[in-house]
Structure formats: structure tokens, C-alpha cells
Structure 1
């Protein structure tokens, strides 16, 4: 279960992940799971090592155990956020814990964590958490004309659908901040948007909408990192879609 509340990396951009956990089997699982999802993890077995790595290496995200020798997730994040020279000062932070009472969850989200992953976790939970905050595969194009033509039937219909989608996205962009306070409504908007993206060949935006929808279904809460990531993809699509003729 995941509860939610970008500097370049030494590896490929956006794929380097710091994993800090004092339990060896957990580290091994997270290492293998993240690699299977296309990420490149670096492992630490205590808080002091995590702080050292976060200061000297640039990670896109950090998975930090709440209870470790040398400082748990809150201590590690505070040390990195408070150090202007830390290369991972701005990395997306996700906390991990075997127990997540409401009081701890609220403290973690208030401290700036983008999510709380309850252990033992599923690979799908990791995928949803990271995709919602870091974004989806950079190789996926903003517009896919072949996919759009296959779904819509012909070029004229595709053009009309894309013009309508552009208007919908303009309205959604303006409404996003308000919708962040209404997770149930935002889930429904993402569901409808995914359908529209399928007909319009906007595969990249559709994938990000799916990530945000899954994030919301698991947590019923939204944090700025997920909304900001979705807005980036929305505006990429807006820039690529044709407007209606005046």
C-alpha cells in the first residue's frame, strides 16, 4: 500500500534511486524490483550512509526506511533538505515502513515526503509511486499519429478529436489545483482523459494520467510532486495539439 503526501543522475536522467534500509532482504527485494522497472538503485544500510550518498550523488528519488541505525527517513531527509550543497537535496522522497499509523503518515507528508510505502510492498505499488512523481518513460512520444489514425479511423476525425482534446486540456490545466483537493473527482477526470488520449494518439499523456489515477486510487490524497508531474505532461500535449481554426 502506498500513501502519498530532479536533478540529473550519474546514471540515466530520472532513473537513479537511492534505497536506504537496514534490513538486507528488503534491500535485495527493492534492488531487484527497481531494476525490473528500469530504475538504477544504489543501496545504503543505515541513515548515515544514506545522507552521505545523498550529498555526493544526484538521485531522482530516494526510498528511505523510517527506522534505521544512524537516523531514519525523517532525519535523513531533514539533513539533505537543509544542506544547500547536497546533490540530492531536491530529490523526490518516499518513506518506507512496516507500520504506518496515521500520526506517522501525517508527519512524513508534512516533512516533504511524496509518499509512504508500507512494507512488504508490491512491485506495482513501486511503479505507481515512482511514475506518479518522476514521470513515465521518456521514449514514449507526445503524439502518435499511427495510433491515433488506427483509433479514430481517418485523418479528419483525428484532427477534430485532437482539437476537442486541446480545449479539454486547457480547461483541465486551469482546474488542476482545485481538483487536487477533490481526489474522487480527479480520479474520474483521469479515467475520462485516458479514454480521450486513446482516440487521439496522445499516448504519453494517457500513460501519465494512468499513473496519477492509480496513485489516487491507492491513496485518496494528492501531493504537489504528482500534480506537478502530470501538469508537465499535460502542457507538452497542449503544445503539440492543433487548435480549432478561428
Structure 2
């Protein structure tokens, strides 16, 4: 469960080697609240977006006939741990092995990633976990997950340039004025944005993803891939 103490300044989000830190919370002008743990392409429980992408990218064939015509079986999980309690959502899919383009591969990977992300947030929002944590559909969760997915498929993704982190003072002011991330629920992959209370008043509002986070279109389940129980 993300806390106020987890907030980082925009100058603190990178390690000395220039890589993005794997833990911390930042507020950004374009992407709203972002949890760097969720935005880690190798993180998020049992498997990161990198693992999901490797399954699909290596298991399907582009522009040629696949010798193995049996569907590719893909499994993807997200998990959590809280005071000794472990739980996870794992889903399994069959993917057609012959795909016509890289964009088809990416769209199927994104659709699976979104499907499991939403199911995981629903798990955290059930009657049991609601008594333990307010993390389900927390304001930063789905958008941060999506950033992690893009970082897996686009290793050069410029987080600061795209999302534009703000200072810790401004992030603290937003948290104090509008409540913590768990108070503000978001069931979409578009961000919730908050006016800067240091200079203006107003209500939170739904934003739109920066174009750099909207270049991959999720595939439609049932078309070239399907969930298997």
C-alpha cells in the first residue's frame, strides 16, 4: 500500500547509472500519480511485462508459416504480498502462432496485460482485501502498469520526457489537498490529474494518455487469441 512517505522528488527518481529507480511514488503532469514499482517492466509480482512479451514474441511467427500449428499457450500472473499474505491472479491464453505483423504481437501482449491487470485490481478490491488495504484500483495502479508495459517493449522509453514528474513539494501538496492515491480510485488506463493546489483550486479530472503511451492498440479477445480456463 503506497504511503505519503514513498513520494520522491523529480530529481530523485533516477539511479547514479541513469536508470529509473524500481521503487517510489511520483506525481507527473501528464500521467498523474506513478508508482515506480508498478512501472518496472521486470516487476509486478510473479512475472513482469518483459516475461509476457518474451512468451509471445518468441512463440509466434511473423510473415511465414509456423511449422507447429498448435496454439501457443501463454500464462501471465500478477501477485501481491501484504504482512505475510500472498495472493495472485494467473490467467492462461491460447495465441495463434502465425501473426501478420509486429503490431499484432504487441496488441495481443497488451490485451493480455490489461486483462490480468484489471482482474488483479478487482481481486484487491474484494470484500476481504478492502478491510486490509485501499490498494485496489488505486489512482496510480493501472497507468503505472501501462508504463511498465511500454518500458518492456520500448526499452528507450523516456519516462521524464513523456510523463513530466513534478517536485516533491508539489506532490505533497496534491496528496494533502486531495487525499492519498488509495482514496482516489481509477478503473481506467487513462490518468486522473489533479490541479496544483499551490497555485490553483479545482477538482481532479480524467486526463488522456500522452501519445507515446497510446501507440499500441490492444487486440480483441477471440480474434487470434482467447483465454482458456
TM over 0.5: no
> Which of the two has higher C-alpha Rg?
1
Q: Per residue, is there more helix in 1 or in 2?
A: 1
TM-score tier, shorter chain, comes to under 0.3
Q: Per residue, is there more strand in 1 or in 2?
A: 2
Of structures 1 and 2, the one scoring higher in RCO (CA 8 A, sep 6+) is: 2
